[in-house]
Amino acid sequence: MVLKLFALLEKLALEQYEKKNAIHEKPEKRIYAGDGHSWLEADKIYVTDKIYIRIPTVGEILDNDQSYYSMAYHLTMSPFQYMVQLDDMHIDYTEITDYELFLLLFPTLGKGDLSLIFGDLDTASYEVKVNVENNLPVLYSKENGTIIDEFVYNKIADTLRKIHNLEKVRSKPGNEEAKRYLLEKERKKQKRSAKKPYSSYLEKLVLALVNSKEFKYNYEETMNLSIYKLNQSFKQSQVRIAFDNTMIGVYAGTVDTSKLADKSCLSWIQLD
């Protein structure tokens, strides 16, 4: 009887100890696009509760940066940037919206490996459907149970642009003559580029930053940085160089700060 009592007390004590010292997994801290949180420590940004955009490391991208950047650019480009390909499909690039271009491209892009951008999302299962609630075209995946409409698309594109410091291209020709000229010019440019071997932009960026005094990481450390951190570091280096050059001019008497249209060069901290 005494032994049973001791065994029961020991069991209760053990349960209390385990309860007191139990290690509970913290729920994932989600960062959503546009919620105001810093992205410096993020490895993904949610655009909906079920869809997120990954922020891969420099090393992950360098394994196949040509494919990665091609996918990222295609997901963010405007019809103006895709004018040659659209013309080959007999589509007027001035008559199609960014979202319509996305709907045109994504079913094909989604069948490739987009895991560095969309993580474990099954991108191959999306099809263009019509939303019965508003009669508008959307991308729908039965497997994922998700819809990508124009609102979600804009979040995806804006998130990728922010990660990679990309500007949204809004250019449009003023008239038909300008449209034909720009189209022919871009076609010639793409033909020239197609003859050149691929040159890694990311590799050049890493080499430039690691060998600059403003950047504090070596090659090995840089490989573990997120691509967002690397791009922000590059942007900050540019801001600092512009500031230093402006101050040299101010002290030399060759720059009058009261006449500067852009005052951002008077600070070495990014203001935007």
Is the same domain home to 119 and 51?
A: yes
Question: Can you give the residue range of the structural domain that contains 185?
Answer: 44-198
**What does the pLDDT read at residue 3?**
47
Residue 137 domain-assigned (yes or no): yes
Is the same domain home to 69 and 162?
A: yes
Residue 14 domain-assigned (yes or no): no
Is the same domain home to 75 and 180?
A: yes
Q: How crowded is the C-beta side of 133, counted as CA atoms within 13 Å?
A: 3
Is the same domain home to 62 and 135?
A: yes
Residue 10 domain-assigned (yes or no): no
Q: How many domains does the chain fold into? A: 2
Give Cβ neighbours of residue 191 (< 8 Å, ≥ 6 apart): none
Residue 214 domain-assigned (yes or no): yes
Is the same domain home to 240 and 185?
A: no
Is the same domain home to 64 and 87?
A: yes
Residue 108 domain-assigned (yes or no): yes
Q: pLDDT under 50 in the chain at which residues?
A: 2-3, 5-6, 9, 23, 25
**What does the pLDDT read at residue 272?**
63
Is the same domain home to 193 and 219?
A: no
Is the same domain home to 248 and 212?
A: yes
pLDDT tens per residue, range 159-203: 999 999 999 998 889 899 999 999 999 999 999 999 999 999 999
Domain boundary among 148, 182, 198: 198
Q: How crowded is the C-beta side of 66, counted as CA atoms within 13 Å?
A: 4
pLDDT tens per residue, range 7-25: 554 665 556 655 555 545 4
**What does the pLDDT read at residue 182?**
96
Is the same domain home to 86 and 171?
A: yes
Is the same domain home to 148 and 65?
A: yes
Residue 245 domain-assigned (yes or no): yes
Is the same domain home to 221 and 90?
A: no
Domain boundary among 166, 198, 230: 198
